[in-house]
Structure 1
């Protein structure tokens, strides 16, 4: 497997933040997107941004911008597909995705995902963290939280993903489970590294986490 390309997923509607681009919100004097780029770019062979609408608003980032090919804001899988199509044009065989609103994800994300894919016919791995005691009490059998916007994805399955999206599939884990996707477990201390900014209160928490 060649070194993965990176794709930052920024194609959501950000309804809980009142709309707009969450990735452009500031934490510690720089945008969430800038934090994500700093963490992901050293781990991958190249980087693109998945976003919809006018791409010129991201011109200052200096990244190629790839839009969803599936209409109607079909969720993160549509962004994954856009990234896979871009990676295919680059001659790559896999991508690693990261969310644009998650500024503290692990700096060894890619190496851990790749290690977990050993001997898979098609590298397909999602990041996970242990569920807390309170989460376990609330029900469900799984002992981990899966983070579907942080994963390793194979270019070889992009047409299968396209067909699934056109058939109405939207839930990430239904597709990854179908293809026997694996999981890479990351520690969640002192806080969940996959904490993402969904609300104004989350933005305040992100500032606190930096202290």
Structure 2
């Protein structure tokens, strides 16, 4: 899927898969993240991205792992607004770890919700029925967001592990969940699928 969608503020966003040609833009995106954003997303304040992690992002394997981008369609050479990935669990094939990163200057515009919906639709097509992930205990905004969506949380080993069902009917009745379900519906319709 490569498409242009529109945020609530009317801004266009190009959504597309990450490809090898995005290598430099991804490295620049990591450099531009604030120390706090790097810490809460990657649990490190290191400015650069390791080659191993970069390769994980760049080498998608549909059904197992995919990374998607959200970009300003008028600034395609720039790092973009953010990215979202899923990695299917080998032990539980109906589960996948989800990860999202949104550029500091693009936060609080709905980019994270769009990216979550995008990887939701892609993973769901491949048979994934729940997402899981890990969040540091002082990352209150992400913890609150996933709780508002209806994710279950368990504190273990100094971090929270969340589980989010990919059944829209199991989400909470909140504004955050309603926005997510709207995006899932839009993207599924674009793919010719049913919610």
TM-score normalised by length of structure 1: 0.29
Higher relative contact order (CA 8 A, sep 6+): 1
Question: Which of the pair is proportionally richer in strand?
Answer: 2
Kindly name which structure, 1 or 2, has the bigger radius of gyration based on alpha carbons. 1
